Amino acid sequence: MLRNKYWRIFATFVEKLYVIMLFITSCLQTFGEYALFMRKVLTKPDKWKESLKRYVAEISKLGIDSIPLVIVISLFIGAVCAIQMQINFANPLLPSYTVGLATRDILLLEFSSSILCLILAGKVGSNIASEIGTMRVTEQIDALEIMGINSCNFLVLPKIMALLTFIPVLTIFSMCAGLIGGYFVALMGIIPVSQYIYGIQSYFVEWYVWYAIIKSLFFSVVITSVASFYGYYVKGGALEVGKASTNSVVASSVLILLMDVLLTNLLLQ
C-alpha cells in the first residue's frame, strides 16, 4: 500500500517535471527562432530610399494614429488617479498637495511607460501581427522573397525604427494628458486647484521622465519585433492569423512586464 502511494507520488512528480521540461524546451526553441529572425531583420536594407519611405509611413500608421487613443486613455487615468489619491489621502496629517504629487509620480513612473506600452501592445501589436500574417498567408512575403528582397528586413525594420523613434512622443503626450486629466478633476472642485498645481510641481525628479522614456524605448522594440515575429511565421489561413495576433499580444505583454521589473531595478536603484 505504502509503496504504491510513494510510487504514485513519484510518477506525478516525473510527469510534472516532464511538462515543465517541455515548456522550457519550447520557450528556448521560440527564443532561438526569434533570435534568428532578428538577425535577418537587423541587416542593411536592400534599398535605403524605399525603406525610408516605409519608415515614414509606419510613423504615421503606428505612431501618429495612436495619439488619440493615448490621449483619451491617459486623460481618464489621470483623472481617476487624482480622485483615488484624494479619497485615500484624506488624512489631516498629509498636506493636500500630496494628491497632485502622487498623481504625477504614478503617471511618470509607471503609467506613461509600462501601462501605456501594454495598451500599445494590444493596438499596435495586433495590427502588426495581423498585417504581416495576412501577407504570409496570401503569399505576398513569398513574392518579396522570389524578387530577392530580404522580406524580414523590408517589412519589419521600418516598423521597429518607427515606433522606437515615436514612442518618446507618445510617452510625453501621455504624461501631459494624464496631468491635464487630474487638473480637470481639480476644476470640478474635488481637489483645490492651487494645491493640485503645487503638488505636480513639488519634489520633481527630472530623472523620472528619462526613466519613463528609456523604459518605453525598450518596450517599443518588444512590441514591434514580437508582433512581427508571430505574424511572419503564421502557417495556415485566417484562423491562424487571428491566433498569431492574440499570441503576439500575450507574449509581448508578458515580456514588457518582465522587462519592467528588470529596468526598474536597474534604473531606479
Span interacting with another protein, options 30-38, 116-124, 146-154, 204-212, rule CB under 8 A: 146-154
Residue choice 47, 60, 65, 202 for contact with another protein (CB under 8 A)? 47
CB closer to another protein, 83 vs 141: 141
Q: What contacts 110, CB < 8 A, 6 or more positions away?
A: none
Which three cell numbers, joined as nine digits, stand for 74? 491617459
What whole-number distance in Å separates Cα of residue 244 and Cα of residue 261?
Answer: 26
What are the percentages of helix, strand and coil residues in the chain, rounded to 5? 85, 0, 15
Residue choice 17, 146, 188, 257 for contact with another protein (CB under 8 A)? 146
Which three cell numbers, joined as nine digits, stand for 117? 506600452
Number of residues that this document lists for the chain: 269
Binding to another protein by residue 145, rule CB under 8 A?
yes
Residue choice 38, 69, 149, 214 for contact with another protein (CB under 8 A)? 149
Angle formed by the axes of helices 2-41 and 151-187, nearest 10°:
100
Residue choice 14, 50, 72, 210 for contact with another protein (CB under 8 A)? 50
**Residue 237 C-beta: closest distance to another protein, Å:** 11
Binding to another protein by residue 64, rule CB under 8 A?
no
Residue choice 30, 84, 140, 195 for contact with another protein (CB under 8 A)? 140
Q: How crowded is residue 145: how many other Cβ atoms within 10 Å of its Cβ?
A: 14
Residues that bind another protein (CB under 8 A): 46-47, 50, 134-135, 138-140, 142-143, 145-149
